[in-house]
C-alpha cells in the first residue's frame, strides 16, 4: 500500500496550484490547500471541498502558520506583471517571507519542501536557450525586480536552509505555462489573447511581436513538479521545467485568432520596461534527472484552453488588480 503523505500546497487555489492539489488528492494524499485568494479563485478547488482528504485554508503565507506536514509545495506568489507590480513591496514580501515561513515549517517538521521558482530569474537573457547554470540578466531596480529578485532571493534562502540546516529542498524554474483555469484577467499573454479573441476585442501585442516565449501546457508542468518532489534526495535542483518549442508573440496571436475563429484585429502597444526579448528553456537536466519532457503541442493545448474559456461566465471573475493587462 502506497504511503499517504500530508501535503501542503501554498497558492493551492491558483491556476497551477489547483491542478496540483487535484492530482495529489487523486493520488490519495492528505492535501492542505492554503491561499489568500488575491489572484486565485475559490471555484478552482470547489469540486475538491467534499473530498475527505482535502482541506482549504484562507491564509497569507507572509504570516507564520503552524501545520504538521510531510511535504510542502510553495507556489504562492502573484505571477503576472500587472498583478505583481500592483503592490511590488507585498510581492517581494510574499517571495521572501513566504520562503522563510515554509522553510521554517519544513525544518521543524523535517518535511521536504519545493520552491516554485521562475524563468524570470534569468531576466532578459543574454544566453539562449537558458540552462540552469546561466546566472541571468535582471535589472535589480526595474519595475519587474519585485518578482524577479524576490524569486532569486527565495532560491538563495532555500539553498542556505539546505546547506546550514539540512532542510530537504527542491527548486524548479517554471517557464510560461497555460491551460484551463487560467484567470481570464491574469494579464498573461495566452489568457489575454484568448479572452480578447472570444469577446471580439482587439488583440493587444506589446512591442512588434517579435519577442519569443515557450509555452508549456499545465498537465505537463504539474507532472514535472511532482516528479521533482518525488526525485531522490541528492538532487535539489534548480531544474528548468518548460517547453523548449519557441514561438513569437505575434505567431501566438495569429494562432489564437485562427483557433477561435475570431475577427479580432491585432493592435500594437509600446513594450513595457525590461520585458524579455526571448525566453526558451534548456531542459536537458529535466530529461536526465526526472525523465521529463512536455508532451502537449501548443495547438492542442490552446484548443483545450479555448474550450474551457468558452465554458466560463466572465462575470464570475473579478480582475484582481486594475492594471491586469500590463
Rounding to the nearest 10 degrees, give the CA dihedral for residues 184, 268, 139, 161. Answer: 20
Tens of pLDDT along 255-301? 999 999 999 999 999 999 889 999 999 999 999 999 999 999 999 99
C-alpha cell at 34: 492554503
Strands 216-217 vs 177-178: parallel, antiparallel or unpaired: parallel
- Of 194, 116, 101, residue with least CA distance to 155: 116
* 147 counts as catalytic: yes
Q: What is the 3-state secondary structure (H, E, C) of 85-151?
A: CCCHHHHHHHHHHHHHHHHHHHHHHCCEEEEEEEHHHHECCCCCCECCCCCCECCCCCCCHHHHHHH
The pLDDT score that the predictor gives to residue 88 is 96
Q: Which helix H or strand E contains 206, and what residues bound it? A: strand 203-206
Q: What confidence score (pLDDT) does residue 323 get? A: 63
32 forms bridges with which residues in the sheet? 8, 55
- Grid cell at residue 134: 546561466
Cell of 178: 497555460
Dihedral sign of CA atoms 71, 176, 301, 281 in order = negative
Residue 157 pLDDT greater than 70, yes or no: yes
Residue 326 pLDDT more than 90? no
Q: 4: which 3 cell numbers?
A: 499517504
Question: Domains of the chain: which residue ranges?
Answer: 6-178+217-244+278-295
pLDDT digits (tens, 9 = 90+) for 1-12: 568 999 999 999
114: Cβ–Cβ under 8 A, 6 or more apart, which residues?
A: 71, 72, 73, 74, 169, 170, 171, 172, 225, 228, 229
Q: Read off the pLDDT of residues 28-78 as tens digits, 9 standing for 90 and up.
A: 999 999 999 999 999 999 999 999 999 999 999 999 999 999 999 999 999
How far apart, in whole angstroms, are the C-alpha atoms of residue 192 and residue 60? 27
* 296-317 pLDDT per residue, tens: 999 999 999 999 999 999 988 8
What is the third-level CATH fold of 6-178+217-244+278-295? Rossmann fold (3.40.50)
Q: Give residue 325's pLDDT.
A: 58
Q: What is the pTM of this model?
A: 0.96
**Digit-coded pLDDT (tens) for 221-255:** 999 999 999 998 789 999 999 999 999 999 999 99
Q: Which of 73, 86, 122, 147 is catalytic?
A: 147
Judge whether 117 and 174 are in contact, CB under 8 Å. Answer: yes
Q: Using CA atoms in the order 77, 82, 88, 94, what is the torsion angle rounded to 10 degrees?
A: -10
Q: Which residue's entry shows cell 531542459?
A: 283
The pLDDT, as a whole number, for residue 82 is 85
b/e for 106-119, b at 16 or more Cβ within 10 A? bbebebbbbbbbbb
What pLDDT does 324 receive?
56
pLDDT tens by residue, 187-233: 899 999 999 999 999 999 999 999 999 999 999 999 999 999 999 87
Amino acid at each position: 500500500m502506497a504511503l499517504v503523505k500530508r501535503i501542503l500546497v501554498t497558492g493551492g487555489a491558483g491556476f497551477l496550484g489547483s491542478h496540483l492539489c487535484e492530482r495529489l488528492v487523486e493520488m490519495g494524499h492528505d492535501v492542505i490547500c492554503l491561499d489568500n485568494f488575491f489572484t486565485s479563485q475559490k471555484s478552482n478547488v470547489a469540486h475538491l471541498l467534499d473530498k475527505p482528504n482535502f482541506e482549504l485554508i484562507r491564509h497569507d503565507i507572509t504570516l507564520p502558520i503552524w501545520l504538521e506536514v510531510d511535504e510542502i509545495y510553495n507556489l504562492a506568489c502573484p505571477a503576472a506583471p500587472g498583478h505583481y507590480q500592483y503592490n511590488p513591496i507585498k510581492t517581494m514580501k510574499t517571495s521572501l517571507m513566504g520562503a522563510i515561513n515554509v522553510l521554517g515549517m519544513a525544518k521543524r517538521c523535517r518535511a521536504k519542501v519545493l520552491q516554485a521558482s521562475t524563468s524570470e530569474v534569468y531576466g532578459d537573457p543574454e544566453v539562449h536557450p537558458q540552462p540552469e547554470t546561466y546566472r541571468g540578466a535582471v535589472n535589480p531596480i526595474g519595475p519587474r525586480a519585485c518578482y524577479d529578485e524576490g524569486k532569486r532571493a527565495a532560491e538563495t534562502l532555500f539553498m542556505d536552509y539546505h546547506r546550514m540546516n539540512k532542510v530537504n529542498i527542491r527548486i524548479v524554474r517554471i517557464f510560461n505555462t497555460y491551460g484551463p483555469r487560467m484567470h481570464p484577467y491574469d494579464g498573461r499573454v495566452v489568457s489575454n489573447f484568448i479572452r480578447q479573441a472570444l469577446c471580439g476585442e482587439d488583440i493587444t501585442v506589446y512591442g512588434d511581436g517579435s519577442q519569443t516565449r515557450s509555452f508549456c501546457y499545465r498537465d505537463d508542468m504539474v507532472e514535472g513538479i511532482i516528479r521533482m518532489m518525488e526525485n531522490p534526495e541528492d538532487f535539489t535542483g534548480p531544474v528548468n521545467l518548460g517547453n523548449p518549442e519557441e514561438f513569437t508573440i505575434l505567431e501566438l496571436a495569429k494562432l489564437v485568432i485562427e483557433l477561435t475563429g475570431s475577427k479580432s484585429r491585432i493592435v500594437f502597444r509600446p513594450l513595457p520596461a525590461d520585458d524579455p526579448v526571448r525566453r526558451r528553456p534548456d531542459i536537458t537536466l529535466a530529461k536526465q534527472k526526472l525523465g521529463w519532457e512536455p508532451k502537449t503541442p501548443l495547438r492542442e493545448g490552446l484548443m483545450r484552453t479555448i474550450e474551457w474559456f468558452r465554458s466560463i461566465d466572465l462575470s464570475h471573475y473579478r480582475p484582481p488588480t486594475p492594471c491586469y493587462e500590463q
